[in-house]
Chain A
Amino acid sequence: MLDNLGNRFQEIFKKVRGNGVLNESNIKDALKEVRLALLEADVNYKVVKEFVGKVKEKAVGETVLKGINPAQQFIKIVHDELVELLGGTNARLTKANKPPTIIMLAGLQGAGKTTFAAKLAKFLKKKGEKPYLVGADIYRPAAMKQLQVLGESIGVGVFTIEGSQDAVKICEEGITKSKEEHATYIILDTAGRLHIDENLMDELKEIKKMARPQEILLVVDAMTGQDAVNVASKFNETLNIDGVVVTKLDGDARGGAALSIKAVSGKPIKFIGVGEKLEDIELFHPDRLASRILGMGDVVSLVEKA
């Protein structure tokens, strides 16, 4: 499967040779393949349309370089454009002028927020920071317990109020407690919710208003389909998020939803989750995800070398 797209491009560009020029007619089929590949990768339909338009604009009129074939050149154009779309200017976590830095997590049910909260705590702890976890999921059975178990396993403090009905209050008291403990980072884990659930979206707004976090991260499952755009725009509208975390990239989903989310929200992807264990967290690399979305790792590095 992996190199299929590459092979198809080779086939398509057979007639174009060195010093030939890419034009509308000879890239037409190639653009169709790109469209298909992106749709198969779950990139939102409208995002695909816009993207293909951009690639066309970039490719038409390019002279094929000596030494590489037109297929490779076209791939490079597509790939570079994808990297640019995926890449953010600032993928770092914002730090508070004076510690603690408060990071708030939000997202749909089961996306991987609680796991990521613990992963991030572990990641920060390794860097010499003192993170603290606050569990504000008052709905899901044993959600607080889950965070406690995870916190304990990495030696990070966890604050929750068992049986509480008030997520905002948990966050408020959690922040106070974390400050007493001289935490440098406070991570707020919230309950999973649907973007169309007005009450629960309001709860997030309230938490934000009270906590005034430096970072609000939207946690998204890499397997999400076309609806990712609706989810991202609604969370972004409600919270004005600062970044995105894409989880479960250890699976074989191509992860096109990430591109959709970046496109609709304009917010950078900051971390990825690559497993269930707490060390399975990585900084985001746009070039790797670009190759993955296209379903071709090797072809690109080949071009890079040429």
Chain B
Amino acid sequence: FRSVSKDGLFGKIKTLFSGRSIIDEEMYEELEDLLIQSDIGMDMTLKIVKKLEEKVKELKIKEPEKVYDILKEVMKEFLIREDTELKLDRKGLNVILVVGVNGVGKTTTIGKLASKFVKEGKKVVIGAGDTFRAAAIEQLEEWAKRANAEIIKHSQGADPGAVVFDTLKAAENREADIAIIDTAGRLHNKNNLMVELEKINKIIKKHLGEGVFYESLLVIDGTTGQNGLTQAKVFNEVTDLTGFVVTKLDGTAKGGIIFSVSEEIKKPIKFIGVGEGIEDLRKFNVDEYINAIFE
């Protein structure tokens, strides 16, 4: 097993097409194998390959090399292009709620986002909604300091709902443009924790007024396997997500799970995390992403 390439699995896709003279069943099977190795998952892989085969037939393509570009196009089509930008144009306070399972990069992403907004001249207030994890508040405080944003916090063990309420209130009092709310990491199969998240949403809705839009972002670790899809489904049921952030894409995993997440939830990826530094956040761009994973 030790021979797994360091060049990334998608890199092998190019060789797969360029290294053969005819398009046959074997080529598609090898492609399937490569896609599965990038966490795209069995169902999604079969969907992609089926679509590819159809296109190749339809366009009467005979050269394997040309299939490469078609594959890119097919894969792009499964990702969502609409609303990849955050919607923060509301007069008054814009709210961003950040959720996800444990350790995926929520707090770090919030630090990066806050810094970006502050640099754009926005007034940002961050709410320390993770009152559970040891030193979660101190971690967020450090990020707020780096970003030049204000932080609203209670002590560890406090009710996260109360923190959210105070954050929104303080943000409005200070006429902030954006409030970003950090939440404790929670596994989606923990019912009590998902109920807590529901409550947080209710507090935001009540504060903003029913029907007022706010961003609700699920952070997904780019190294996550098939569980990422379940995460997306369950969090989306509880909080009605507006999009995703995929982190840790500076590693060798390329976040293949986002294909089935996009296909299933039909919501955009808005940002990707590419490191631990404050600048290591990129706007998600379908074309760039596909090019990067095919490199």
Q: Please name all residues of chain A whose beta carbon is closer than 8 Å to the beta carbon of B134 when the two chains form the complex.
A: 145-146, 149-150, 153
Q: Which residue of A44, A224, A276 is within 8 Å of B132 (Cβ)?
A: A276
Closest B residue, CB atoms, query A47:
B1
Closest A residue, CB atoms, query B38:
A226
Contact A257 B132 (CB under 8 A): no
Contact A248 B37 (CB under 8 A): no
Encode contact with A along B22-46: 1 for CB under 8 Å, 0 otherwise. 0000000000010011110110000
Q: Is there a chain A Cβ closer than 8 Å to B142's Cβ?
A: yes
Q: Considering the complex, which residues of chain B in the window 174-199 have a beta carbon less than 8 Å from any beta carbon of chain A?
A: 185, 187-190
Give the size range of B's interface with the partner: 35 or more
Q: Which residue of B2, B36, B256 is within 8 Å of A233 (Cβ)?
A: B2
Contact B135 A230 (CB under 8 A): no
Q: Please name all residues of chain A whose beta carbon is closer than 8 Å to the beta carbon of B133 when the two chains form the complex.
A: 146, 276
Contact B257 A110 (CB under 8 A): no
Given A109-B248, A140-B139, A149-B134, check contact A225 B226 (CB 8 Å): yes
Q: Please name all residues of chain B whose beta carbon is closer than 8 Å to the beta carbon of A209 when the two chains form the complex.
A: none
A139 to B108, CA, bound (A): 12
Most interface-central of A39, A139, A253, A263 (chain B CB within 10 A): A253
Q: Please name all residues of chain A whose beta carbon is closer than 8 Å to the beta carbon of B256 when the two chains form the complex.
A: 225-226
Q: Please name all residues of chain A whose beta carbon is closer than 8 Å to the beta carbon of B103 when the two chains form the complex.
A: 109-112, 221, 248
Q: Please name all residues of chain A whose beta carbon is closer than 8 Å to the beta carbon of B230 when the two chains form the complex.
A: 252
Most interface-central of B6, B36, B223 (chain A CB within 10 A): B223
Q: Please name all residues of chain B whose beta carbon is closer than 8 Å to the beta carbon of A46 when the two chains form the complex.
A: 1, 4
A139 to B278, CA, bound (A): 13
Most interface-central of B33, B42, B224 (chain A CB within 10 A): B224
Q: Considering the complex, which residues of chain A in the window 168-184 have a beta carbon less than 8 Å from any beta carbon of chain B?
A: none
Q: Is there a chain A Cβ closer than 8 Å to B105's Cβ?
A: yes
Contact B1 A227 (CB under 8 A): no
Q: Is there a chain A Cβ closer than 8 Å to B253's Cβ?
A: yes
Tally of contact residues, A, Cβ under 8 A? 52
Contact B225 A256 (CB under 8 A): yes
Encode contact with B along A113-151: 1 for CB under 8 Å, 0 otherwise. 000000000000000000000000001111101101110
Encode contact with B along A34-67: 1 for CB under 8 Å, 0 otherwise. 0010011110111100100000000000000000
A binding-site residues for B, Cβ under 8 Å: 36, 39-42, 44-47, 50, 108-112, 139-143, 145-146, 148-150, 153, 194-196, 221, 223-231, 233, 248, 250-254, 256-257, 260, 263-264, 276
B binding-site residues for A, Cβ under 8 Å: 1-2, 4, 6, 9, 33, 36-39, 41-42, 101-105, 111, 132-136, 138-139, 141-143, 156, 185, 187-190, 221, 223-228, 230, 248, 250-253, 256-257, 276
Known: A44-B37, A146-B133. 9 other contacts (CB 8 A): A108-B251, A142-B139, A145-B134, A149-B135, A196-B251, A228-B223, A230-B4, A251-B187, A257-B225
12 contacts between A and B (CB under 8 A): A44-B37, A46-B1, A108-B248, A146-B135, A149-B134, A153-B134, A225-B225, A233-B4, A248-B187, A250-B190, A252-B188, A253-B227
Q: Which A-B residue pairs are the 8 nearest by beta carbons? A: A225-B225, A110-B103, A42-B225, A141-B142, A146-B135, A253-B227, A227-B253, A142-B138
